[in-house]
Structures are given as C-alpha cells and as structure tokens.
Amino acid sequence: MTFEEFDYSRAGILLYRWFLNNARKLPWRSDPAPYHIWISEIMLQQTRVEAVKPYYARFLAALPTSAALAACPEETYLKLWEGLGYYSRVRNLHKAAQQIDAQYGGALPSDFDELLKLPGIGRYTAGAIASIAYGKYEPAVDGNVLRILARLTGDDADIQLQQTKDRAERVLRAYYRTLKEAAEGPSAESAMPASRQEAEAANLEQMPGDQAASAQSKETQVVEAESSADTVTESIEPAGRLAAEAVCSMRAVSAGIELASANTAGITNLEQPIAQAATSAADTPVLSAEALKPPQRSSAAVLQQQAEALSRGEEPAFLHPGLLNQAMMDLGATVCVPNGEPLCHRCPWEGLCTARREGLTGILPVRSKKAARKIEERTVLILSDGKRAAIRKRPARGLLADLWELPNYLQLLTREEVVSYVQAMGFSPIRIAELPPAKHIFSHVEWHMTGWQVLIEEEAFASEEQLDLRKKEKLQFCSLAEIQSDYAIPSAFSAYLPYLR
C-alpha cells in the first residue's frame, strides 16, 4: 500500500485520542504564541528536545518578542545560541524578525505561503507555526512523520527523497481539508460542485494513468457518500452539518464501528464523509455548530478542554490541526522511534499498522544511505598568559561562519611543532601540556582533535615578521569573563573550553 491508498479517517481519530492522554509537557506548548512556536521549532532542528529546553528558556528571557530579536546585536544573539550549533539558524531568525517588523507590523504571519517568505522557514516549520499557533489546517511533515506514515501505510518509497516528502504532504493536506470542512463547514470552493470537478479534473490530468483511474474511482465513491450523508443530516443546519458528521465519526470509532466499507479497500478515501457513522449515531444529540467551531488561537486551551472532556467519556468535537501535528511528532519521538525497535504495544495504530501486521518494522521506512562524512584531523591550542586567552574569528563564509573559535589548525601537530609555531608568533612558551583528544560531528564532516595547553609570558618582544604572523592569525586575547559573557564559542570546542580556566 502507499500513502495515497490508505484511509486515514480512523487512524487520525485514534492518534488524536491517544495524544489527548499522552501529550508531552513541553515549555513551548504551555503558551503556544506564534513567536514561541517559531523559536522552538527552529531550535529543535537537528537538536534533541531535552537539550533545547534550557536554551529556549534563556533565549525567551533575553528576547521575549520578535521586536526584541529584530533589534538585538549580532554578538548577543550568537552568545544566546552558543552550544546549539548550526548558527545559520539564529542568523536567519534575526533576519526574519527584521522582516516581520518591516513587512508584517511585528506580528508573525499566519498564512502558510507568507511564512515561507521568511528566512529560515521551510514547509515543515511553516506548517507547524500555522497549525499550532494559529489553528490553520496545514500539515507539518518531517522525518518523524515520514517514518510513522511509511510504517502505517507500508509505503516503501525512500523517505530521503524530496518527492516522497512531497507526496506525504499532499496526502495529509487533503486529509486536513476534510477535517477543516468537518469543523467549520464546507469552504466556498468545496460547496460548488462544478468548480470542484474542474479542480479535480486538472489534478487528474497531471497524474499517471493508473493513479488517475484510482482517483476517478475515489471521486465516484465520494459523490455517492455525500449523497447518502445529505439524507442523514438534512435536519441539521448546513453550517454544522459536516461538523456533526465528524462527531458521529468519533463516536463510531469509540463504539468500534468500522468506517471503511469493504468495497472501497485500497482506494483513497481522504474526502469521504462518514455516512455510516452518521447513520449509527442519528439518534444521539449533536452539539450546535457554534459549539463545534474550533478555537483558532490556543492549541494549549483546546488540548486541556478536550483532554478533560475525554476523561469524562466525551469524544472531541473536532481535530485541532496543531494538536494532530504534535501527535504525530510525539508518536515518532516516543513510540515509533527512529533507533531501535518501535514500541508497538504502546501505539494507538497497533491494529492498523501495515508494518506491524506484515513484520516490516525493521525494514520501513526505506532510507538511502548518506555519503560518508569527511574526517578532518585538527590541532586546537589553548594559548594563555594566565589572565587572558587567545581566540579568533572564523571566516565570513563556510562552516561556523563569522563565529569566534579557539586557534586551531588543519593537521595534527607534535609538541615540538606547537612550540615552534608559538615562538614564530613572538610568544615565549613557559609550559606546554597535551590535552585529551576530542571529536565533534557535523552533518558532513567530523573533526578529530588533539589539544595543547600553552602558557606563555605575559608580554614578549616581537619582531615585525612575528607581528605580521600574529596579524594573519587574527588572535584576540580576552579574559575568561569576557569570553563567557561576550563571545559565542561553538560547541565544537566544548571539550577544550574548561582549560581556559
């Protein structure tokens, strides 16, 4: 089966109910303001949740608003980011904050396409901000989501490929569209059959033959189901009709009713209203359309309200898109894990999962191997006169661009070579000690480092040639207090920073 062939209606509800009872308590979730979600999502790129928490608190304490970030000096925001790595992230945050201040009146836009115009915001981050902070029905597809969807559906496409991610996003966007209509009523476009048919026809023209035929078959099923749903819900006000169907759907799942009929197995049912469930729950009182309308701002408030309601045996009236995105994040992080065996006995999809049923959890998702990282041997110097230590700024382009670093060299130097080099700069070594080796892994390169701690005379006479070498090295001597407070030293050097003392 593929992403496109799976029926997500039951899986979505089961996952959502699981999340209401199992949501992780994270600081950015308790107050999901747009700025908070934005900062957290950028920090969480390539960084573990537990590692992010203290940085998130420190960053918000210093820069509580987008306006504060926009006005922040570079050295300050780089220092706040120190240790998180991938410093281009915070530079893009700063550029985006300035753009928000200039073009959006200081408020992060809620529109998905507008968010994509901001530096450092891709489709995943835009979807996360739009859905969690603003309640927009936008998916947020990352590696976690691709992994759980591949296992759920049995799709064996390579998740490293952009086209696989694009497919997953299209499928989820179609599913989210049905959730939006269920919660808010049909959009203007979906309420116009002719326009909808034209749009679907345009999509079919771009599909391969077999896929187009399958989609056309699906459309026939949708029309038939909608006709049936019209009969069942004709006494309900139009604005609340699809919302009522969503309630019926959730009650049906709770009662164990199978939502997908046998003759539609293997066909995309992303837009099929749950007519069977509506019929089964026809005698059950339905909430008003106003009560069903989802709050657009605070996903935290919705989570609390719906979790409390579920504990009383009441099904959620709608699926909040931000919570559903977070549910997929949590499932991938805590249950359907990337490393090791998935914890299937704890998974709300255990009974639906294709990989579980067919013994493919060790095979799916398919992921092509990345190119081997390049190994670089480096020598790091702790060059100090006892009061101040040498640091220097890296080039404006390339790895760790424009950041401060400990002096280091792209080769392994012996003791004699270190002494000779220090003397060549006009310094007089008093004591030299070899430090333990260290390793730092970047996405595409590994640094294998050897360190030397060199104590030099406080002042030493230097020739013109030696001064030229110092100038070339761009060394700057600073006190430990200055380095700690004013200069952002990348975590690549963290193993050697304690020796500055």
Average pLDDT (174-200) is 68
Average pLDDT (347-369) is 96
Tell me: the pLDDT tens digits for 377-434? 999 999 999 999 999 999 999 999 999 999 999 999 999 999 999 999 989 999 999 9
Are 254 and 315 spatial neighbours (Cβ–Cβ below 8 Å)?
A: yes
Residue 374 exposure: Cα atoms within 13 Å on the Cβ side: 5
Are 367 and 158 spatial neighbours (Cβ–Cβ below 8 Å)?
A: yes
Among the residues of 312-414, which ranges form H helices? 321-334, 354-358
Give the tokens for residue 182. 């269920």
Rounded to an integer, what distance in angstroms lies between the CA atom of residue 168 and that of residue 174?
Answer: 10
The whole-number pLDDT of residue 58 equals 97
Give residue 324's pLDDT band: very low, low, confident or very high (50, 70, 90).
very high
Task: Tell me phi and psi for residue 451, to 5 degrees.
Answer: -115, 150
The whole-number pLDDT of residue 298 equals 76
Domain with CATH 3.90.79.10 in the chain: 374-500
Give residue 471's pLDDT band: very low, low, confident or very high (50, 70, 90).
confident
The whole-number pLDDT of residue 296 equals 53
The whole-number pLDDT of residue 375 equals 97
One-letter amino acid at 70 equals: A
Task: Tell me phi and psi for residue 396, to 5 degrees.
Answer: -70, -15
Rounded to an integer, what distance in angstroms lies between the CA atom of residue 461 and that of residue 441?
Answer: 39
Tell me: the pLDDT tens digits for 38-90? 999 999 998 999 999 999 999 999 999 999 999 999 999 999 999 999 999 99
Average pLDDT (176-195) is 71
Q: Which helix (H) or strand (E) holds 226?
A: helix 209-232
Are 296 and 138 spatial neighbours (Cβ–Cβ below 8 Å)?
A: no
Q: Which residues of 340-375 are buried (b: 16+ CB within 10 A; e: fewer)?
A: eebeeeebbbeebbbbbeeebbeebbebeeeeeeee
Which neighbouring-strand residues pair with 452?
Answer: 381, 434
Measured torsion, CA atoms of residues 204, 205, 210, 211, in degrees rounded to the nearest 10: -40
Taking phi first (over 0 means left), then psi (-120 to 50 degrees means alpha), and beta for anything else, what does residue 237 get? beta
Give residue 489's pLDDT band: very low, low, confident or very high (50, 70, 90).
very high
117 vs 249, more confident: 117
Rounded to an integer, what distance in angstroms lies between the CA atom of residue 68 and that of residue 98?
Answer: 10
The whole-number pLDDT of residue 187 equals 63
3-state secondary structure 292-339: HCCCCCCHHHHHHHHHHHHHCCCCCCCCCHHHHHHHHHHHHHHCCCCC
> Given a cut of 90, is residue 278 above it in pLDDT?
no
Measured torsion, CA atoms of residues 27, 33, 36, 41, in degrees rounded to the nearest 10: 90
Measured torsion, CA atoms of residues 81, 83, 85, 88, in degrees rounded to the nearest 10: 20
The whole-number pLDDT of residue 288 equals 35
DSSP label at 492?
A: G
Give residue 273's pLDDT band: very low, low, confident or very high (50, 70, 90).
very low
Rounded to an integer, what distance in angstroms lies between the CA atom of residue 364 and that of residue 336?
Answer: 11
> Given a cut of 50, is residue 275 above it in pLDDT?
no
> Given a cut of 50, is residue 490 above it in pLDDT?
yes
The whole-number pLDDT of residue 483 equals 94
DSSP label at 366?
A: B
Tell me: the pLDDT tens digits for 112-161? 999 999 999 999 999 999 999 999 999 999 999 999 999 999 999 999 99
**pLDDT > 70: percent of the chain:** 77
Tell me: the pLDDT tens digits for 290-305? 333 454 557 999 999 9
Give residue 190's pLDDT band: very low, low, confident or very high (50, 70, 90).
low
The whole-number pLDDT of residue 354 equals 98
Name the superfamily (CATH) of residues 374-500.
Answer: Nucleoside Triphosphate Pyrophosphohydrolase (3.90.79.10)
Give residue 469's pLDDT band: very low, low, confident or very high (50, 70, 90).
confident
86-91: long-range pairs with CB below 8 Å, 24+: 86/45, 86/46, 86/47, 87/400, 87/401, 87/403, 87/488, 87/490, 88/120, 88/401, 89/42, 89/43, 89/45, 89/120, 90/42
